[in-house]
Amino acid sequence: MMDSVTSMTFIIALYIFMLAAFTGYVVISRVPSILHTPLMSGSNFIHGIVVVGALDALFNATTLTGQIIGFVGVFLGAGNVMGGYVVTDRMLAMFRPSQKQTTEKKGQQ
C-alpha cells in the first residue's frame, strides 16, 4: 500500500510530466523544417542527461554486477551526450545567410 507521501510524490511527478510534455510540444511546433535534423540531434543531446542518473546509480553500486552495468550505463550516457552535442554543433554551424544579406544588415545597424 502507498502512504500519503508516496502518492503525493507520484501526483507531483504526473504534474511535472504533463507540463514538460506541453513545453516540448510548444517549443518544437515553431521550428522550421530546415532545422529538423539538427533539432532531432539536439533533442537527442538533451536526453543524454540520463548520464546523471547513471552516475548516481554507479556511485551507489554495491555489487560487481551493479558496477559493471553501471559502468556500461555511464559509458552509453556519456556517449549520448558528447556525440549529440558534437554533431548538432557541427550541423548548426553550417547554417548561414547569404553574404549579401549579412552585409546589408550590418549596413542598417
Q: Which amino acid is at 69?
A: I
Tell me if 6 contacts another protein by CB under 8 A: yes
CB of 43 closer than 8 Å to CB of 17:
no
Q: Which one among 4, 97, 104, 109 touches another protein, defined by CB under 8 A?
A: 97
Of 28-57, which residues contact another protein (CB under 8 A)? 28-57
Residue 99 interacting with another protein (CB under 8 A): yes
CB of 107 to another protein, least distance (A): 16
Considering Cα of 83, then 84, then 85, then 89, what sign does the dihedral take?
positive
- DSSP notation for 45-99: HHGGGHHHHHHHHHHT--SHHHHHHHHHHHHHHHHHHHHHHHHHHHHHHT----H
If one asks whether residue 8 binds another protein (CB under 8 A), the answer comes out as: no
**Smallest distance, another protein to C-beta of residue 24, A:** 4
Minimum distance from residue 42 beta carbon to another protein (Å): 5
Q: Which of residues 67-86 bind another protein (CB under 8 A)?
A: 67, 69-86
Compute the distance between CA of residue 67 and CA of residue 100 in angstroms, rounded to an integer.
57
- 108 binds another protein per the rule CB under 8 A: no
